[in-house]
């Protein structure tokens, strides 16, 4: 009996893993017999599951065989279809070759005609794309493009109507190039807004609006925009007069150098104004301008003062009484206050009075002379400084752009021009002011000499 119990225990230990993994065992065995019964049931269930899996595998294998057979049938059908398509392709190539031969035979001399049409249409499209007339007739470029595509495809011939329209568009381009017309179109303003405006087109040269602004035609977008910079001067007023005119002859600044604004108009627009050139002088230019303004103010002030003094001296010459309100009167007062003085002392007194009046009459003359001498030197300083900056830029970026280099040199020379502009008028104003002062001093010397002569004759008599 003990032996049987030992065998049962060994069997239970050997089957522990199977018992632990079996889904049939849901609770712990209370005895060895119950444990043995549970092991049997789990074994039977495992066999049943294994058989089910084997059956599913057999069914899947049968299905795979069916799918393989279907794939082989599909492959055979596609290979057959491919052979049919290859035959059809070869037949179509033969037909196309024959049709092309027939087309060539039927075209005959028309082939050369269509070649010329294609070439002419290409030239027309290139011309229409840049012509400002396209701003008034935008659909014509699209028509020419479609006609070129049609003739290039060699599948369809152009109709008589299309050939006649191409001739019409060519003739209209030549006719419109000699006309001045008004039409409505969308214009992009300087601030980016789009407005419907009445535009005047002058042949193939220029577009202007009612405000007197020159416009540009942008071929890429087929739009019209106001030029950011205008030529200024009388050109814009002429353009405004042309926009408001209905008939007759009106002066207008036409740019004959190109249909898109032209190089002459571009150069005129890109040319800096006087204010922009003045700003090119920089700090030195501002200093020269300030000095020039100071010199002009001083010169005007002294001319006014000396003019008033000259009138007072002339009035004093006609008066018999010396007045303290003018330089001559103050000199004459010396003689009236010292009638019995000897001639030598009186001469010294009069000379002293004239010397007192001289600084008042010659005031600021030296300052004008200094400004006239310093202004060109300041201009030269600005030019040298600008040249140094220009050559430093050339050293860094190279001299690949002559336009930029010329612009730098031109800006540097602005200060020299400003210096000369200040110096030349200042020299002239100094001459005028000095002449006025010397004229009054000459009158003072003349009158003092006359007083001394009269005083000497009186004492001698």
Pair 158, 46 in one domain: no
**Could you tell me the pTM of the whole model?**
0.54
Pair 138, 285 in one domain: no
Pair 286, 433 in one domain: yes
pLDDT at 1: 42
Pair 200, 307 in one domain: no
Answer for the pair 380, 419: CB distance below 8 angstroms, yes or no: yes
pLDDT at 30: 67
Pair 223, 289 in one domain: no
Which range marks the domain in which residue 135 is found?
A: 110-177
Pair 344, 435 in one domain: yes
Number of domains observed in the structure of the chain: 4
Pair 252, 319 in one domain: no
Report long-range pairs for 404-411 (Cβ below 8 Å, ≥24 apart): 410/280, 411/280, 411/281, 411/386
Task: Render pLDDT for 418-454 as a digit per residue (tens, 0 to 9).
Answer: 999 999 999 999 999 999 999 989 988 888 888 888 8
Q: Is residue 91 a part of any domain in this protein?
A: no
Answer for the pair 227, 253: CB distance below 8 angstroms, yes or no: no
Pair 340, 423 in one domain: yes
Pair 299, 229 in one domain: no
Beta-ladder partners of 185: 197
Pair 173, 199 in one domain: no
Beta-ladder partners of 186: 196
* Poorest-pLDDT segment among 179-183, 234-238, 248-252, 254-258: 254-258
Q: Is residue 82 a part of any domain in this protein?
A: no
The stretches of 16-31 forming alpha helices (DSSP H) are 16-21
pLDDT at 402: 66
Distances from the Cα of 343 to the Cα of 266, 337, 353, 412, 446, angstroms: 79, 14, 15, 63, 16
**Average predicted confidence (pLDDT) for the chain:** 80
């Amino acid at each position: 009996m003990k032996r049987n119990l030992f065998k049962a225990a060994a069997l239970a230990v050997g089957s522990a893993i199977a018992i632990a993994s079996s889904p049939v065992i849901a609770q712990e065995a209370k005895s060895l017999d119950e444990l043995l019964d549970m092991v049997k049931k789990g074994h039977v269930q495992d066999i049943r599951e294994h058989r089910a899996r084997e059956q599913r595998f057999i069914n899947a294998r049968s299905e795979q065989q069916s799918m393989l057979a279907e794939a082989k049938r599909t492959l055979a059908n596609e290979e057959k279809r491919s052979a049919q398509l290859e035959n059809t392709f070869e037949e179509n190539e033969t037909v196309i070759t024959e049709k092309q031969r027939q087309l060539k035979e039927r075209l005959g001399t028309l082939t050369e005609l269509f070649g010329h049409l294609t070439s002419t249409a290409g030239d027309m499209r290139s011309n229409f794309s840049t012509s400002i007339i396209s701003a008034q007739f935008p659909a014509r470029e699209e028509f020419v493009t479609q006609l070129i595509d049609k003739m290039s495809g060699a599948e369809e011939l152009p109709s008589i109507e299309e050939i006649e329209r191409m001739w019409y568009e060519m003739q209209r381009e030549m006719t419109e190039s000699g006309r001045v017309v008004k039409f409505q179109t969308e214009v992009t303003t300087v601030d980016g807004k789009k407005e419907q405006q009445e535009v005047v087109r002058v042949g193939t040269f220029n577009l202007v609006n009612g405000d007197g602004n020159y416009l540009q035609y942008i071929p890429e977008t087929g739009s019209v925009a106001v030029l950011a910079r205008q030529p200024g001067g009388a050109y814009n007023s002429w353009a405004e007069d042309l926009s408001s005119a209905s008939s007759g002859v009106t002066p207008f600044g036409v740019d004959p150098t190109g249909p898109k604004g032209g190089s002459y108009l571009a150069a005129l627009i890109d040319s800096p104004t006087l204010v922009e050139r003045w700003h090119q002088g920089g700090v030195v230019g501002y200093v020269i301008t300030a000095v020039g303004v100071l010199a002009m103010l001083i010169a005007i002030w002294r001319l006014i003062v000396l003019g008033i003094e000259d009138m007072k001296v002339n009035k004093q010459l006609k008066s018999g009484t010396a007045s303290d309100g003018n330089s001559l009167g103050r000199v004459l007062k010396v003689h009236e206050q010292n009638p019995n003085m000897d001639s030598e002392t009186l001469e010294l007194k009069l000379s002293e009075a004239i010397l007192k009046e001289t600084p008042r009459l010659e005031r600021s003359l030296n300052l004008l002379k200094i400004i006239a001498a310093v202004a060109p030197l300041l201009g030269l300083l600005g030019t040298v400084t600008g040249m140094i900056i220009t050559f430093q830029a050339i050293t860094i970026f190279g001299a690949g752009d002559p336009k930029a280099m010329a612009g730098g040199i031109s800006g540097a020379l602005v200060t020299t021009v400003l210096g000369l502009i200040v110096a030349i008028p200042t020299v002239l104003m100094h001459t005028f002011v000095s002449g006025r002062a010397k004229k009054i001093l000459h009158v003072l010397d003349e009158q003092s000499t006359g007083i001394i002569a009269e005083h000497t004759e009186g004492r001698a008599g």
